[in-house]
Structure 1
Amino acid sequence: MADDHHEEERPDYDPEHVELPAKEPPLRSTAPQSDFTMSQVGTGIVVTLVGLALTFGIALALA
């Protein structure tokens, strides 16, 4: 079975002499912390209202 971890490229771990990576990791953006515009808020509200109208409108129409 082939091992894809490339052991030959890894230096031996030495807890006494830890070397930090040469470059910084890329910046990540996660949804809850991201900025958003009022246009995006408006779109979300419209989508929510349409979804609620369809969900309860169909249920009430069939009752």
Structure 2
Amino acid sequence: MADDHHGEDRPDYDPDHVDLPAKAPPLRSTAPQSDFTMGQVSRGAVIALVGLALTFGVALALV
């Protein structure tokens, strides 16, 4: 099984001596820390609106 976390690049964990890794960039980046462009925000808003319209539109059409 392949190890995608590159364990050989990391030092062994020592709970008495905890230092942040000097490696940059960090091993993973999550969305809240990432910058967004207005185009990405607009696209997400349009997709959300289409999803809401489909969800409630189908429900109202069946009533």
TM-score range, shorter chain: 0.5 to 0.7
Partner of 2:38: 38
Q: Does 1:50 align with 2:15?
A: no
**What TM-score, normalized by structure 2, do the two folds share?**
0.60
Amino acid of the structure 2 residue aligned with 1:26: A
- Give the counterpart of 1:26 among 11, 24, 27: 24
Q: Percent identity?
A: 57
**What TM-score, normalized by structure 1, do the two folds share?**
0.60
Write out the 4+ residue segments of structure 1 that deviate beyond 2 Å after TM superposition: 23-26
Q: Which runs of 5+ in 2 are unaligned?
A: 1-10
| Alpha-carbon distance in 2 for matches of 1:57, 1:49 | 11
Q: Which runs of 5+ in 1 are unaligned?
A: 1-9
Matched pairs, number: 48
Rg: which structure is higher? Answer: 1
1:52 Cα shift? 0.2
1:27 Cα shift? 1.5
